[in-house]
Amino acid sequence: MGEAVLDRWGSPVFTDHPRALVPFNEAVEDLVSLSGDPLERVEAALATDSRLILGQVLQAYLELYSTSAAGFERARKVLRELDPWDLAAGERELLHLRAAHAWAGGEWERAVAFLERALLHDPGDLLALKVAQDLHFFLGNPSGLRGVVERVLSTWVPGRPGWGYVQGMYAFGLEENGEYAGAEQQARDALGQNAGDVWAVHALAHVFEMTGDQGRGIAFLTRSADDWSGSYFAVHNWWHRALYHLELGEIDEVLALYDGPIRGTRSNEWLDVVDAASLLWRLRLFGIDVGNRADQLASDVEAILDDPVYVFNDWHAVMVAGLAGRREVVEHLVSVNRRGTAGTNRRSVEEAGLDLLEGFSAFARGDAEGAVDRLADIRPRAHVVGGSHAQRDVIDLTLLAAAAGAGKASLAQVLVDERVAQKPAASAAAERVVVANRRR
């Protein structure tokens, strides 16, 4: 079983070879800071200590982050190969192992519960905190995003290693709960500790998006780009900048970002694909011809389609396949989600996911009435498919476009009024969507 050695943040890790803690710590920090190559680091830790349970669990977590069927199978393989004699290690190892098994088995909420229990056991467990908040994000649970950090804040005092990362996590939790001033302050505190804290950059980008402060958002992401553009999360921050330009009607800037940092390298990671798909769909809502970009992205998406694991991904696949006119792909995605899901994903599909798939499918084939029917009542429960408020805002935009396309002028006006009441700066962009889609 080895001995308990404290990790960089003061939590115990059982290992036969304490030297393995060096790359293990680096792997955790890479994950928390969204930088480097955490999988490479954890493999180095396991090369030093092949029985490092938390190393193997972290390896499984990193595969699960892919939100793909292939990644889930790789994670299950890692977990199956754990030596059962090693399972007598510490409480931390046991709770993380249970969380990983639950997530790999499709029970995402159960995984969160084990991680929340791990944080009760040790509020300083930075790995548990990071994975738990990310799972709340995947589940579209804003109160969980904030609460999981809030409950351990008193442990993370200024000056403690990792304090800045926790402020960045808290900033995002506050932002997703509409507490924008507090979120901005926490994000800036985090960036004062580490300008390369990409999650804190991301939290502040969300604040500017939700408050309609596009000018400050563009300036901030432009000024800070050198600090985060090497991150494996960088595409998402470029996507946020593209949204600011789209809202301002600066279409050339949006297309330059799409063709450059967003899709200049044709990544096959869902993390990157969903941003590209969402941006092309939004451009279509604004009446912009995206040329052959949709067809090229659809080919990339088809190459990674697999058994349904996370309806959020399949919803974005419907967007891009619909834009490219690949009706058979759209129909396949709707069909497999109607009958081939399990666990948390099945519940998400039943509650909102299927309506989203069918509503976006209807809009893509020109059935504005059908899109309104599917999307008009879904918004209060759409969060169950996961993602952030900014990502799910495409639902409201699509409903607005569908209402205009179906000739439902009164509904379109109500939706515009609602949008402007929430974000006054959105008026011009909302009107552009109405004009671009209005029934001729």
- What digits encode the pLDDT tens for the residues 359-374? 999 999 999 999 999 9
- CA dist 25 and 16 (Å) reads 16
DSSP 256-304: HHIIIIITSS----HHHHHHHHHHHHHHHHTT---TTHHHHHHHHHHTT
Tell me the helix, strand and coil percentages in the chain, rounded to 5. 75, 0, 25
DSSP character for 51?
T
Fold classification of 141-245 (topology level): 1.25.40
Contact 227, 261 (CB under 8 A): no
Could you give the C-alpha distances from 54 to 33, 48, 82, in angstroms and in order? 19, 13, 11
> Per-residue confidence at 88, pLDDT binned at 50, 70, 90?
low
- CA dist 304 and 67 (Å) reads 11
**Which of the listed CATH numbers 1.10.3130, 1.10.3470, 1.25.40, 1.20.1260 matches domain 1-136?**
1.25.40
Q: Does residue 439 have a pLDDT over 90? A: no
- What digits encode the pLDDT tens for the residues 152-196? 999 999 999 999 999 999 999 999 999 999 999 999 999 999 999
Q: Does residue 49 have a pLDDT over 70? A: yes
pLDDT, residue 340, reads 79
Q: 């990983």: which residue's tokens?
A: 100
User: ∠ at Cα 302 (298, 305), nearest 5°?
Assistant: 135
194-217: average pLDDT: 97
Q: Does residue 203 have a pLDDT over 70? A: yes
411-424: average pLDDT: 96
- CA dist 410 and 68 (Å) reads 41
Contact 59, 42 (CB under 8 A): yes
Say what the pTM is.
0.96
Q: Does residue 19 have a pLDDT over 70? A: yes
SS3 assignment, position 12 = strand
Q: Does residue 6 have a pLDDT over 80? A: yes
- CA dist 162 and 7 (Å) reads 12
